[in-house]
């Protein structure tokens, strides 16, 4: 560190991660009880301070990897939160990040290790500081981008049924979607392709399995639904 800016006040910089998952037709978020003061024992998002030798994105990736054990996750910066009194301990500015994962990919051992659990977004308790606002802003971000970016496929297995796909949309948007119109739009989207495989587990009649054509998306660089 240098002596530059010595006359100015210092502030801590942190990242907080809103990790969304989809399970049992519900959109859920990873929450835990704080294991440090201030706010010890309060419901909270998982986060950490930015190290001196890392960028914001690097810090968020590190925290997400610690929490999930996964790499190369879908991650977006949501907003900066810097209210003067947001942390009663010190002056802390936090950058919130949103991540999407397939719940089935998450190692349950890490749930116990980090003492976190999946909580439905419409049943989130009062969280520490401004974490409820962070979740709200992240959900607003998802709703704005759901029809222009293929972000929802991060919440699904590689092969999925149209019923599963529609359930994800409904969970994020918080509303029921007309089945006929939804499937019509899906069939018109070349980036969602039908496979020859059949789902014999969640459907008695055997529903067709689909997948997201990532290569075509990268070539077209646009997603419309």
Give the residue numbers annotated as catalytic, written as ranges. Answer: 115
Burial class (CB in 10 A: 0-12, 13-18, 19+), 115: exposed
Cβ–Cβ < 8 Å for 12, 39? no
Give residue 14's Cα distance to chain centre. 18
| Closest alpha carbon to 194 in 183, 178, 179 | 183
Give residue 194's Cα distance to chain centre. 26
| Closest alpha carbon to 94 in 136, 134, 54 | 134
Quickly count: other Cβ atoms within 10 Å of residue 89's Cβ: 10
Q: Hey, what are 31's tokens?
A: 């929450």
C-alpha–C-alpha distance, residues 114 and 112, integer Å: 6
Characterise 39 by phi-psi region: left (phi > 0), alpha (psi -120 to 50), beta (else). Answer: left
């Amino acid at each position: 560190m240098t002596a530059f800016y010595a006359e100015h006040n210092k502030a801590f910089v942190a990242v907080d991660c809103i990790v969304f998952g989809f399970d049992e037709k519900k959109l859920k978020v990873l929450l835990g009880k704080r294991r440090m003061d201030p706010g010890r024992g309060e419901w909270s998002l998982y986060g950490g301070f930015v190290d001196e030798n890392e960028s914001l994105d690097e810090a968020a990736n590190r925290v997400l990897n610690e929490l999930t054990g996964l790499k190369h996750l879908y991650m977006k910066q949501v907003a900066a939160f810097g209210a003067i009194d947001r942390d009663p301990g010190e002056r802390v500015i936090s950058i919130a990040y949103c991540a999407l994962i397939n719940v089935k990919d998450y190692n349950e051992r890490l749930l116990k290790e980090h003492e976190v659990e999946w909580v439905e977004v419409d049943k989130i308790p009062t969280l520490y500081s401004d974490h409820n606002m962070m979740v709200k802003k992240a959900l607003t971000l998802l709703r704005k981008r759901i029809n222009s970016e293929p972000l929802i496929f991060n919440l699904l297995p590689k092969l999925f049924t149209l019923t599963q796909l529609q359930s994800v949309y409904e969970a994020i948007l918080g509303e029921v979607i007309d089945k006929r119109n939804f499937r019509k739009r899906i069939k018109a989207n070349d980036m969602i392709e039908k496979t020859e495989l059949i789902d014999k587990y969640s459907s008695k009649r055997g529903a067709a399995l689909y997948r997201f054509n990532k290569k075509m998306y990268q070539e077209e660089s646009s997603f419309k639904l």
